Amino acid sequence: MPDPRIAGAGVTQFGKHPERTGRDLFADAGLEALDQSGVEPEDVDALYYGNFMGELAEHQGHQGPLMAEAIGIDAPATRLEAACASAGAAVREAVKTLRNGESEVVVVGGAERMTNIGTAAATDALAIAADDLYEVRAGMTFPGAYALMARAYFAEYGGSHEDLGHVAVKNHEHALVNDHAQIQSEITLDEAMEAPTIAAPLGLYDSCPITDGAAAAVLTTEEYAAEHDLDAPVVISGSGQGGDNLALQDRPHLARTPAAEKAAEEAYADAGIEAGDVDVAEVHDCFTIAEVLAIESLGLFDPGEGIHAATEGVTTRHGEMPVNLSGGLKAKGHPVGATGVAQLATIAWVLDGTHPRADAVPDGRVGVAHNAGGTVASTTVHVLEVRE
């Protein structure tokens, strides 16, 4: 079965929308995706929808049918939950159903509403993606967990908080022209270094913000796209998913993320490419150290080399391997259930030349999207390619 094509995508402005419901946000993204695609709503065969904390933030479960109704489609709708990788898991299911011939047109997306419950409650809600018995009850939150991973990385490979600061500076600069981004302001390295400590060695600018938002994409079979003369040059050629022990203490090491390595290996094999073929990447940088771990797990850098990538300018928009041209979770924002599809949209727009940072890879043909859940206990990786 030929690879699914991305016929259209929609992303809301990420940020604080406490007055809006999740269904309102998803309607904006989903209807934009349908309009951009040229697909009629009655042609949609299924909806796969990512959401993590709907029960806690909106007292709303069973969101799949709700979101289908919000965008005017009458099709089976399934919500998927894999913590921060919920939307990536939804994309994977959409790819499988299109490849196996079960569907011709699928809407995939996600949304999260978080700011309405406040920072403390949102932090508590996010923490349930960790091991409640052995981590959460001991006071673990994700800033603390990623701080432990950063310390383990520094101990094993070297590097410094200043190297992480360069990741933050880069991603803030990338987001300046992204109208969907929550934070469109530059920061200096000094500001990153002098920011309040959140969980040593991580400071305020090492952490992504709490975000409301939604993203959606319309995926079709190649045959449907050809029959309906759709402008859909970007395909999803590879899909992979990996897993790991949920709790950090149950892992053999903290300075690598095997779930992402497994997902990348599967996605590359599926697409018939190697890491060296990748031109651009969107990775899950919920904390600056997470970007370092991600680019190493994707094979874009050897273990111990990713920490210097931003410092040396390699992952900037002027570098050889641009990473997070959207601004990443760090500056674009992280509405948990939407992030994986927002990454997909960014890569598609970069490859087809319509993203404001597309000039960073004018001849780019291959992109990769890396979406991780928790402390990377769940990971999806998708390879996108341009095929006219």
Cα(179)–Cα(24) distance, rounded to whole angstroms? 19
What DSSP state is assigned to residue 85? Answer: T
Contact criterion met (CB below 8 Å) for 327 and 181: yes
Give the bridge partners for 84, in sequence order: 82
In this structure, the number of other CB atoms found within 10 A of the CB of residue 386 comes to 17
**Pick from 40, 110, 113: nearest CA to 75:** 40
Please tell me the number of Cα atoms within 13 Å of 244 on its side-chain side. Answer: 27
CA 310 to chain centre: 19
Cα(30)–Cα(45) distance, rounded to whole angstroms? 14
CA 99 to chain centre: 22
Establish whether the linkage from the previous residue to 201 is cis, with ω within 30° of 0.
yes
Cα(163)–Cα(155) distance, rounded to whole angstroms? 14
Establish whether the linkage from the previous residue to 258 is cis, with ω within 30° of 0.
no
CA distances from 269 to 89, 238, 322, 380 (A): 18, 7, 22, 14
In this structure, the number of other CB atoms found within 10 A of the CB of residue 64 comes to 19
* Tokens describing residue 239: 């899909």
What DSSP state is assigned to residue 133? Answer: T
Cα(18)–Cα(212) distance, rounded to whole angstroms? 8
Catalytic site positions: 84, 334
